[in-house]
Amino acid sequence: MSVPVIRLDNLTVSYDRHPAVHHLSGTFQPGSLTAIAGPNGAGKSTLLKAIMGELRPAEGRVEHLLQRTDFGYLPQAAEINRRFPISVLDTVLLGSWRSAGAFGRIAKQEAACARDALATVGLEGFEKRHIGSLSAGQFQRVLFARLLLQNARIILLDEPFTAIDARTTRDLLDIVVRWHGDGRTVIAVLHDFEQVRAHFPETLLLARRLIGWGPTQEVMSSANLLRARAMAERWDEDAEACEPAA
């Protein structure tokens, strides 16, 4: 077994002392393609934010083998302000911050790479469009182009295919599979179990507590899905964050 790129050690994350992720331990291996699945309110997005350092653990810890700059993160579309006056090309160029630095100048080569990334996601000719004028599917393609330009070794995606059309979903899934083929580590929160079974060899099934983590066909069993649903339905929202693990 290779050294994991991310290790979760008894991780508990809470909001106002109420648990969202509880006593979760496990590892993500380099080059793995993992879906995080589970019922609504299972703590899936919370887990990604904890991995990215946006939320501090109430207990336990997240360990990274690589640097923060090796991570690419795509939050849910609803968390992104599309009213900001920025063009499609400039949005993609935000993915070049690792090489340009926070206040660095964008080289011609980076601009060319950004245009290539837009072409890869099917948006050639959209460079000057304002992001607020795009459809949900087009905007998600822009965000994937930004990730392509960032060229991160670990990519975290929070519900990347929600509320977009079927063709865009297929195109973006192709990019995810390509990242996996390149040896990148990809972790995606998904609500479509058929997408999980069809495209993701590993699954972390979560219902605030861990239900299963391993090969998708084993983890996504009917018994585990029923257990996840039942656990989510009986979860006590008023429970303290650090009650003993089961």
Residue linked to tokens 């929202």: 237
Confidence at residue 242, expressed as pLDDT on a 0 to 100 scale: 56
For residue 184, the model assigns a pLDDT of 97
* CA-closest candidate to residue 199, choices 166, 167, 176: 176
Amino acid 53: pLDDT: 94
Q: Which residues of 15-47 are buried (b: 16+ CB within 10 A; e: fewer)?
A: eeeebbbbbbeebbebbbbbbbbbbeebbbbbb
The CATH architecture to which 1-66+153-246 belongs is 3-Layer(aba) Sandwich (3.40)
Contact at 8 Å (CB) between 48 and 187?
Answer: yes
Q: Rg for the chain (alpha carbons), in Å?
A: 19
- Dist. CA 90–CA 19, nearest whole Å: 38
pLDDT of residue 236: 58
What are the boundaries of each domain within the chain? Answer: 1-66+153-246, 81-151
Residue in 179, 162, 216 with CA at minimum distance from that of residue 45: 162
pLDDT at 83: 83
pLDDT of residue 245: 43
- The C-alpha atoms of residue 172 and residue 3 are separated, in whole angstroms, by 29
Q: Give the per-residue pLDDT at 23.
A: 94
List the chain residues with pLDDT less than 50: 102-103, 244-246
Q: What pLDDT score does 246 carry? A: 42
In this prediction, residue 85 carries a pLDDT of: 86
Task: Show the CA angle centred on residue 179, arms to residues 136 and 31, nearest 5°.
Answer: 130
Which residue, among 233, 205, 183, 202, has the nearest Cα to 30 in the 3D structure? 183
